[in-house]
Amino acid sequence: MKSILWALVCVSVGLYITQPVLDPDLWWHIAIGRWILEHGTIPVTEHWNFFALGKPFRAYSWSFE
C-alpha cells in the first residue's frame, strides 16, 4: 500500500513539474523580486518597460516577490 501511494505521489509530482508555465507574469515577478533583493527596496520608477522608462512604478504586488 505504501509503495502504491509513493508511486502515485511521484507520478503526480512528475506530471506537475513537466507542464509549461502558463502564467506569463511569473517571469516579471521573478525579475522584480531579483531587483528588490539586489537593491533592498521596492522600485519607485519603471526600469523594465521601454515605453514607461523612468515613470512611477506602481508595485501593487511587491509582497509576492
Domain boundaries, the chain: 21-65
Query: Is 7 or 22 the better-scoring residue by pLDDT?
Result: 7
Sign for the pseudo-dihedral over CA of 24, 64, 37, 50: positive
Phi/psi region, residue 5 (left: phi>0; alpha: psi -120 to 50; beta: rest), is: alpha
pLDDT at 65 over 60: no
Give me the pLDDT at residue 51, please. Answer: 84
pLDDT in tens, 9-54: 999 998 888 888 777 777 888 888 898 899 998 888 887 777 878 8
Model pLDDT, residue 61: 65
Question: Which grid cell sits at 64?
Answer: 509576492
Q: How many residues does the chain have?
A: 65
